[in-house]
DNA sequence: GTGGTCTAGACCACC
DNA sequence: GTGGTCTAGACCACG
């Protein structure tokens, strides 16, 4: 796993890193049970204070995406969704609104978008039907 | 146009409002040439500091989405994309990555997502082909 | 609201304070919309580093119990439960297991416990039926 | 007795195991005089460092819940409550506060809670009246 | 004024 | 070794 921080990005470092972990998991590059680099190790490689990395892992653990254990490290958790269908649907709609708004303002056409979505979807690791 | 602020949303108020304007334009609810409420008017209706509204308009003008003419108000600009194809593609990919990552973590399936995208796409106002 | 920290308690300061906020809300001493003391103010009154207080508020916001906004402060959120019935039931069972185990080891009788629960329940502020 | 550790649980392993012993005794699955698995045996079955198991037994002996006899093993102690009524009452109140706070935030109603407590109470093994 | 981010550095609990 | 807590202090964004 390679993590990078873009200092020109307005997003805080810890959120940039958290998003990279989320996306790596969603793409299947990180699998459930995989161990992430230790706080100290990652803090050295991306040249960031260890506390900042700890914040990333703390946040992801609260999201249920990681399990961390003192003495062992941080591990990708088994996927699960504890939220109600209603909430999940709302969140998806909101995220989709963001994406499509961006697409329109970038002057893509509906056809472009559906096409690129259909293609990119295959790059992600989706849950089994009856999880 | 109705603008609302969600106090449970972590996004700053000015970013929430800016996104609502962007999305309204993308959905065709606001058309090029339409006039937006004045800073003072909008600051009263959504009960927000006028400086915050001013910041919204400034940001959207910077993005080329609005034109503000002193004394007249703020107007929706003609759509245009000054950016290169490469930059536009990158931005879209990034936005799509965000969306699909969220979808995976919300435990939706690829089929769900393609379906919902295909449906929602129709709610937006896309540019003509050879603009 | 009075907050206290017990330095002989093994629980970290931030968790002690978080639990006091949760319980104050559950007992109706803090109502939705109420403003909590500012980070700096509370850090002075309980004589703790401001970062530690910030951690308390961050955690409670992630639990959906507080809304915090730079420039305004931290506020008690509207109650809501985004979790599925299954998860909520599991969490309740687990918490109940802890309580009853403690009660047995403290040599209370079943009758004592049911009685004290029935009495104490009235001290809390429960959601309306059809929330 | 089966002991399990939940890696998604934030509690340290030794506390998870200690709680399972406490609860097994409170439910009557372990009776006074029963012998617990040896440190080495248990450390193999739950795949945990022997030091961790030793810590569990040490803690439970400190609480007066187990008696460990070197060379023989660890045994469930006779129930006893050396504490004053006042202290016991306080501890129970505190544990109950935790439970009811959790229940409120999980959006259960007072009726739900009293009902579930009345039902679950029967699953535990309570002391005789005038012990 | 408010909360949020980040650094630096100390100390502790876990395994 | 691992992550977690807490302090001290600087700087930024929000409203």
- The string of DSSP letters for A1-43 reads ------TTSSS-HHHHHHHHHHHHHHTTSS-TTPBPPPHHHHH
Measured CA to CA, the distance from residue D85 to residue D93 in angstroms comes to 12
**Nearest residue in chain A measured CA to CA from D12:** A69
Whether residue B7 and residue C67 make contact (CB cut-off 8 A), yes or no, is yes
Three-state secondary structure of chain D: CCCCCCCCCCCCHHHHHHHHHHHHHHCCCCCCCCECCCHHHHHHHCCCCHHHHHHHHHHHHHCCCEEEECCCEEEECCCCCCCCHHHHHHHHHHHHHHHHHHHHHCCCCHHHHHHHHHHHHHHCCCCCCCC
Question: Which pLDDT score is estimated for B128?
Answer: 82
Q: In which residue ranges of chain B is pLDDT below 50? A: 131
Q: Specify which residue's alpha carbon is closest to the C1' of nucleotide F1.
A: A71
User: Residues B84-118, buried b or exposed e (16+ Cβ, 10 A)?
Assistant: eeeebeebbeebbbbbbbbbbbbbbbbebbeebbe
Instruction: Write down the H helix ranges in B29-121.
Output: 39-45, 50-62, 85-105, 110-121
CA-only gyration radius of chain B, Å: 17
Work out the pLDDT band at C130, boundaries 50, 70, 90. Answer: low
Q: Residue A91 corresponds to which tokens in the numbers above?
A: 């969140």
Mean per-residue pLDDT of chain C: 96
Q: What is the CA radius of gyration of chain A?
A: 17
Chain D residue with CA closest to A65: the answer is D8
Residue of chain D with shortest Cα separation from C83:
D106
Touch C-B: 3+ C-beta pairs under 8 A? yes
CA dihedral D12, D17, D21, D24 (to 10 degrees): 100
Compute the distance between CA of residue B6 and CA of residue B97 in angstroms, rounded to an integer. Answer: 25
Contacts of A62 in chain C (CB under 8 A): 62
- A1-56 pLDDT per residue, tens: 789 999 999 999 999 999 999 999 999 999 999 999 999 999 999 999 999 999 99
Q: Do D107 and C131 touch (CB under 8 A)?
A: yes
Q: Which of A116-120, B39-43, C62-66 comes out lowest in average pLDDT?
A: B39-43
Are D26 and D70 spatial neighbours (Cβ–Cβ below 8 Å)? Answer: no
Distance CA D104, CA D108 (A): 6
Burial of C65 (0-12, 13-18, 19+ CB in 10 A): buried
Instruction: Report the DSSP beta bridge partners of residue D76.
Output: D66
How distant, in Å, are the alpha carbons of C32, C37, C76, D12 from that of B10? 18, 19, 15, 32
- Cβ-based neighbour number of residue B27 at 10 Å: 15
CA–C1' C54–E6 (A): 14
**Residue–nucleotide distance: C51 CA to E7 C1' (Å):** 13
Residues of chain D falling short of pLDDT 50: 131
Scan residues 34-63 of C and list those with Cβ closer than 8 Å to D: 63
pTM of the model: 0.94
End-to-end distance of chain D based on CA atoms, in angstroms?
Answer: 27
Can you give the pLDDT at residue D83? 85
Tokens of D68: 């460990």
- pLDDT tens, residue by residue, A77-97: 999 989 999 999 999 999 999
Give the pLDDT of residue B129.
67
Q: Is A80 on the interface with C (CB under 8 A)?
A: no
Strand F nucleotides in reach of protein CB atoms, 7 A cut-off: 1-9, 13-15
**Distance, CA of C94 to C1' of F11, in Å:** 44
Contact yes or no for A121/B114 (Cβ under 8 A): yes
Q: Where are the beta strands (DSSP E) in C15-123?
A: 66-69, 73-76
If DSSP codes are grouped into helix, strand and coil, which group holds residue B47? coil
Residue nearest to nucleotide F3 (CA to C1'): A70
- Mean pLDDT of all residues in C77-98: 96
Kindly state the tokens that stand for D28: 């009557």
| Contact between A67 and D12 using a beta-carbon 8 Å cutoff | no
User: How many other CB atoms sit within 10 Å of the CB of residue A67?
Assistant: 22
SS3 C76: strand
Residues of C in contact with D31 (CB under 8 A): none
| pLDDT at residue C71 greater than cutoff 70 | yes
What's the N-to-C CA distance of chain C in angstroms? 27
Give the mean pLDDT of A102-130.
94
Query: What's the rounded mean pLDDT across residues A108-128?
Result: 97
Which residue in this structure is represented by tokens 């979790």?
Answer: C83
- In total, the C-beta contacts within 8 angstroms joining chain A to chain D are 8
pLDDT value at position B130? 56
pLDDT at position C110 over 70? yes
D73 - beta bridge partners?
Answer: D69
- The pLDDT score that the predictor gives to residue C33 is 97
């Amino acid at each position: 796993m390679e993590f990078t921080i873009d200092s020109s990005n307005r997003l805080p470092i810890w959120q940039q890193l958290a998003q990279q972990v989320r996306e790596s998991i969603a793409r299947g590059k990180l699998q459930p049970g995989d161990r992430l680099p230790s706080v100290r190790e990652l803090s050295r490689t991306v040249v960031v204070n260890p506390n900042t990395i700890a914040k990333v892992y703390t946040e992801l653990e609260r999201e249920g995406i990681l399990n961390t254990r003192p003495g062992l490290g941080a591990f990708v958790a088994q996927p699960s969704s504890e939220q109600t269908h209603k909430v999940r649907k709302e969140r998806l709609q909101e995220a989709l609104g963001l994406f499509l708004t961006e697409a329109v303002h970038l002057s893509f056409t509906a056809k472009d978008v559906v096409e690129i979505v259909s293609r990119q979807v295959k790059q992600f690791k989706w849950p089994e039907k009856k999880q």
